[in-house]
Chains A and B, each alone.
Chain A
Amino acid sequence: MTDDKNFALSCPTPLANYEQILLAHGGGGKLMHQLLESVVLPALDNVHLQPRHDASVFVVGNQKLAFTTDSYVVSPLFFAGGDIGTLAVNGTVNDLAMAGARPLYLSLGLILEEGLPVKTLSRVMASIKNTAAEAGVQIITGDTKVVDRGKGDGIFINTAGIGVVEHSLDVAPGSVRPGDAIILSGDIGRHGIAIMAQRAGLQFETTIESDCAPLHTAVQALLAGGIDIHCLRDLTRGGLASALNEVAQQVKLGIHIIETAIAVCDPVRSACELLGLDPLYVANEGRFVAFVPEKDAERALAILEKESVCRASSIIGNTTVEDAGLVLMTSTIGSTRIVDMLSGEQLPRIC
Chain B
Amino acid sequence: MKFVDEYRDAKAAHELAECIKAVVTRPWTIMEICGGQTHAIVRFGIDELLPSEITLVHGPGCPVCVTALELIEKAIEIASNPNVIFCSFGDMLRVPGLHHDLLAVKAAGGDVRIVYSPLDALKLATENPDKQVVFFAVGFETTAPANGMAAYQAHRLGIRNFSLLVSHVLVPPAMEAILGSPHNQVQGFLAAGHVCTVMGYHEYEPIAAKYKTPIVVTGFEPLDILQGILMCVTQLEQGRYEVENPYSRVVTREGNIPAQKLLSDVFEVVDRKWRGIGEIKKSGLALRGEYRQYDAELRFGLADRKIEESPECISGLILQGIKKPHDCPAFGTRCTPEHPLGATMVSSEGACTAYYRYRGTTASGRRAG
Contacts and interface: CB of A to CB of B under 8 A. Distances in A.
Interface in A1-22: 1-2, 4, 7-16, 18, 20-22
B1 interface: yes
A332 B348 contact: no
Given A10-B310, A333-B8, A338-B359, A349 B369 contact: no
A40 B256 CA distance: 54
A325 B368 CA distance: 8
B159 interface: no
B369 A10 contact: no
Contacts of B36: 349, 351
B342 A350 contact: no
B157 interface: no
A269 B4 contact: yes
Given A333-B222, A349-B90, A350-B138, A12 B96 contact: yes
A335 B101 CA distance: 35
B96 A13 contact: yes
Contact of A348 (B9, B48, B90, B338): B90
B163 interface: no
B32 interface: no
Contacts of B368: 325
Nearest to A350: B89
B330 interface: yes
Contacts of B367: 326, 338
A340 interface: yes
A31 B359 contact: no
Interface string A257-283: 000000000100110010110100000
Contacts of B138: 350
Contact of A200 (B107, B116, B339, B359): B116
A266 B357 contact: no
Interface in B299-339: 309-310, 312-315, 329-330, 333-335, 337-339
Interface string B2-43: 001000111001100000000000000000000110010011
Given A252-B369, A266-B1, A331-B43, A347 B342 contact: no
A23 interface: yes
Number of chain B interface residues as a range: 35 or more
Contacts of A34: 338
Contacts of B369: 248-249, 252, 254, 323-326
B104 A349 contact: no
A337 interface: yes
B46 interface: yes
Nearest to A241: B357
Contacts of A12: 69, 96-99, 340-342
B93 A338 contact: no
B63 A21 contact: no
Contacts of A16: 339
B234 to A, nearest CB: 21
Interface in A318-348: 323-326, 328, 331-338, 340, 342-343, 347-348
Contacts of A22: 103-104, 106-107
A30 B338 contact: yes
B139 interface: yes
A80 interface: no
B291 interface: no
Given A324-B369, A326-B369, A351-B36, A4 B45 contact: no
Contacts of B107: 18, 20-23
Contact of A9 (B98, B312, B356): B312
11 contacts: A12-B96, A12-B98, A12-B99, A325-B369, A332-B44, A333-B222, A338-B359, A338-B360, A340-B358, A351-B139, A351-B194
Given A334-B10, A338-B357, 9 more contacts: A7-B329, A11-B309, A11-B315, A12-B96, A14-B335, A23-B103, A23-B106, A331-B44, A335-B46
